Every structure is written in C-alpha cells, then in structure tokens.
Structure 1
Amino acid sequence: MAQKKKPQSAGSDRQAKIQAAASSGAGSGANKIVIAAVAAVVAIVAVVGFVVIKQVQSDNAVKGDGQAVPAGATMGGGYPAYQDVTAKAGAPTVEAFEDFQCPGCQQFERAIGSTLVDLAKSGDIKLQYHMLNFLDQRLGNTSSLQASNGAFCAADAGPGKFEEYHTIVYANAPEQEGTGWTAAQLKDYAQQAGLTGDALKTWESCTELGKYTNYNKAVDANAFGKEGIKGTPTFKINGTIIDNNTFATPDQVKAAVAAATK
C-alpha cells in the first residue's frame, strides 16, 4: 500500500524557497561576471584591431600601395634631376646608370659628377639618374637598395635634395666593397643634405617602410632589360650608350654634350 506523503510545514517550505532563490541569484551573478569579462576582451580586441588597421592604412598611404614613384619619374624609369631648372632649347638628355655600391661609379662621380651637375643646373643638359641595385645580390646585402631609397626619400623633401644626398653617399663610399652603410649613416647623410625636423621624420618613415622599393627594383629590371645595360657605370646621350673611355673627363663630357646639342 502506498504511503502518504508527509505534509511539509510552512517553515520548511519557506526555507526551500529562500535556498532556491539564493542558488539562482549566485548563478546569475557569475554569469554577469563572465559576460562582462567577455565584453571587455571584445572591446580590447576591437580597439587593437582598429589601431592595426589605421597603421596599415597609414603605411600604405606612404608606400602608395607599392606603386610610389619619385616626382617626375615613372615606374621603372629614370629620375629627372633638377626639375626646377628649365632646359635650354636643344639640350640633350644625359642618363647615368649607377649602383651606389659600384666602385667604378664612385670614380666617375669624382671625375665628372660635378660637371654633369653644373651642366644640368645651367640647363645645358637634361640629366636623369637610373639607380640600380644588382650588386646587393652579388655582395650579399641590401645597401644599394637602402641607399637608393634614402636618396628618393630625400627627393620628397624638395628640389635638389636627391642630388645632394646622391653626392654625399658617393663621397662616403666604404673603403671595402660590400661593407655598405648602416641605417645611422644613411640618416646622417640625410641630415648633411639639410633635412631637419618634420622633413627628417618623414624621411625616416619613408626609408623604414621602403616607400620606393618597388620603383628601385623596376628601374634595375628595366636597365638590364629594355635599356640594354650590361653593367655600371653606363651613360647614354639621347638614348645612345656612350663609350666610357670618351666620357671620363670634364672636357670629354662637355665635348660630347656640345656634339649632341641640336
């Protein structure tokens, strides 16, 4: 025979409800803590993600999505020096194909570099530089590329800064080929070229991000491709390669320019 359930007293029933409410409340509090913690983590992730996205966007803006070219140039094309100078009528175009780590380039820069600069400043020639970096692979470093980036980042600071930086780098060529330059040295050259304050900070950002890396690589590829260059230094006048033996002194340069002037 089934036994009858013993009726609960009013006190025990009240106690059961209190315990149930306490149990329910404890669980609810724990859930609230977990939810708050998760929300905090999500908020932190969102902030970090936003900062990263903004930084990437900022970096891409500097690099031009990898398509940045110096003012006046085209991707893979030579850099026109002294763009603030108007060339005289009939002035020939002189192109210099160089690698910053090339000892021969340094010798030619010392011998005829100032002559080319003077002719360009006076408007007697339209001077273009093609800065190559093929020696990086041969010498096992990235100094040619870094120096080229430094020169074109200097160009962003204003007319004549590329040319000043270019001259300073060659004047400080390392005694031993392949030694290259440190980041601190390249920054010092930028300062010697007159970059200070915000201009120097912009130069640092430009070089750290490698703003002109793709441009430099394209110049190198074009030189040994459609430009028909076999080594450095190489010079062209109005698109024709000049024998270095006839372009090695200031008088030879002036004579070749005079003969090419229309």
Structure 2
Amino acid sequence: MAQKSTPKSARQAKIDAVRKDGGGGVNRIVVGAVVAVVAIIAVVGGVVVAERNQQDRVGTSTTVPAGASGMGQGFVANADVTLQPNAPTLEVYEDFQCPACALFEQVMGGTVADLAKEGKIKLVYHLKTFLDANLRTTHSLTMGNAAMCAADAGKFQAFHDAVYANMPAQEGQGWPTAQVRGFAEGAGITGAALDAWQTCVDERKYGTYVESTEESSSKAGINSTPTVVLDGQKLDFNAVPDPAALKAAVEAATK
C-alpha cells in the first residue's frame, strides 16, 4: 500500500530554503577560507624553506673575525703591523672565483703584501660572493669562510695568496676539499691549529660574516671585482697598471 506523504515540518522547510537560496554561498565562503589558509601555510612554508636553505649555505654562526670591527665591515689583513705615520688605507674587493682578481694578485699581490708588511698601508679586504649566484655554486662563500678560518691562525694572507695562485682552469669549477686543506697546510697551519681550522671550515663559522661583506659592499655600489680603493678613491687600473705605479699612488696618498 502506498504510504501517504505527510507535510514537512516548518524547521525542515527553512533548511530546504537555505539550501536552495544560500547554501552554495555558505560553501563558497568555507572553501575560500580553506584556500586562504592553505595559501598562508604555503607562504610560511616557503619562508621556512628559504631560511633553512640560507642556514645550510652560510651556517648559523654570527661570529665576526678578529680583524673586522663588525658584520659587513672589511677584514684588516695587517692589524698586527704598526703603521707608518699617515699611512693610507688600501681596500681590496675580491671574489675568490674571479679570474680578474687572480690576475690582479699575480701582478700586484706581492707589492700589496709588501706595502702592508712595511706598514705603508692599512690593508683591508672585502670578500665578495656574487659569483656564487652567477655560477650557481657556493665556492666563493666556502673559500671566504676558509680564509677567515685561516686568519684565526694568523695565516690569512698566505692562504689567500695560495687560493689565487691555484685558480681552477674553468670558472665555477671550485677546489677539491683536499686541495683546500692543502692550502691551509701550505700556509703553515699545523697540529691543533689545523684541527681548529678544519672545525671552523666544517661549521661555516664565518659564513654569515662573509655574506654580510658581500651585502654591505653591494649596497655601497661595489658590484665588480677586483675593485681597489685607496683612501676613498677607486683606482683606475689604466692609470695604475703596474706595481711601480701602485707604489707611487700610495706615496702620493701618504699625508
């Protein structure tokens, strides 16, 4: 027997009316809210990943080397030398992967080192890393950190010079780990000091500092290497093409 239908209750009728007229709107609001939450999670997740990648690259240490006055400040390579009266400051901006920097060191490096040892200049290095982004590597940062670790042992200059004397044949190729350790040993870092250097390298003790010098110099408009500044004035390598001209420029800047 067919069952007789009964009239809908007033409450059910209201529910059905909402479903027909506005139910979809309620669903769209809910879906929109969910999408917004997912988008926020994605943004936050992206920031977290970026921060983790940055930490993996530069490490988490905020240690500044003894030869620098703070983050973003250059490293004074001859801080242990008594400067001659009115000695000018020579600032060298270099990226360890830069072939032109290697050429500068080949031509001028010995003269710069001698002037620094004699106290005729205050020698300040600003380590740059922009070639890492250009070449999709981390060699500039890695070698900058290793050089600062060598500075802890008082061997920055020797390590620095060894790196430039052994530039890879191909730009972006980098240096094998064993060769980098060989630079430290060749610079005279041995025994417990060598162990400390290795720990410093492995922990990327100065990674954040080296990255800060890149950021600081870039903001100051130094975006090419080598850039050499003598008492605030950029050197024109056409006007100062050789060691004799560099010595003359330093003498002229000595006040």
TM-score, normalisation: structure 1: 0.73
Is 2:66 the counterpart of 1:71?
Answer: yes
SS at structure 2 position matched to 1:94? strand
Match of residue 94, structure 2, among 86, 91, 98: 98
Give the equivalent residue in structure 1 for 2:228.
235
Match of residue 195, structure 1, among 173, 178, 189: 189
SS at structure 2 position matched to 1:87? coil
C-alpha separation between the residues in 1 aligned to 2:60 and 2:165?
A: 33
Question: What are the superposed Cα offsets for residues 179-228 of structure 1, whole Å, 9 maximum, x if unpaired?
Answer: 111221111100111111111110111000100001000000111112x2
Q: Check the 8 A contact 1:234/1:244 in 2, yes or no.
A: no
**1:72 deviation in Å?**
2.4
Q: Check the 8 A contact 2:93/2:226 in 1, yes or no.
A: yes
**1:246 deviation in Å?**
2.2
**1:96 deviation in Å?**
0.3
Give the equivalent residue in structure 2 for 1:139.
135
Q: Which amino acid aligns with 1:153?
A: C
Q: Which amino acid aligns with 2:229?
A: K
Give the equivalent residue in structure 1 for 2:117.
121
Stretches of structure 1 that go unaligned for 5 or more consecutive residues are: 1-62
Question: What are the superposed Cα offsets for residues 83-121 of structure 1, whole Å, 9 maximum, x if unpaired?
Answer: 211110110000000001000000000000000000010
Give the equivalent residue in structure 2 for 1:39.
none
Pairs within 5 Å for 1:222-261:
222-226=216-220, 228-261=221-254
Stretches of structure 2 that go unaligned for 5 or more consecutive residues are: 1-57
Q: Check the 8 A contact 1:145/1:213 in 2, yes or no.
A: yes
**1:65 deviation in Å?**
6.1
C-alpha separation between the residues in 2 aligned to 1:244 and 1:69?
A: 31
C-alpha separation between the residues in 2 aligned to 1:234 and 1:101?
A: 14
Match of residue 165, structure 2, among 171, 194, 202: 171
Larger CA deviation: 244-253 vs 192-201:
244-253
Q: Which amino acid aligns with 2:167?
A: A
**1:64 deviation in Å?**
11
Q: Check the 8 A contact 2:87/2:254 in 1, yes or no.
A: yes
> Which structure has the larger Rg?
1
Q: Check the 8 A contact 2:100/2:226 in 1, yes or no.
A: yes
Is 2:168 the counterpart of 1:181?
Answer: no
C-alpha separation between the residues in 2 aligned to 1:117 and 1:145?
A: 23
Question: What are the superposed Cα offsets for residues 60-93 of structure 1, whole Å, 9 maximum, x if unpaired?
Answer: xxx9962211112021111101221111011000
Give the equivalent residue in structure 1 for 2:83.
87
Give the equivalent residue in structure 2 for 1:22.
none
Residues 168, 68 of structure 1: alpha-carbon distance in 2 compared, 3 angstrom cutoff: same
Residues 65, 142 of structure 1: alpha-carbon distance in 2 compared, 3 angstrom cutoff: closer
C-alpha separation between the residues in 1 aligned to 2:119 and 2:246?
A: 15
Percent sequence identity is 49
C-alpha separation between the residues in 1 aligned to 2:191 and 2:165?
A: 24
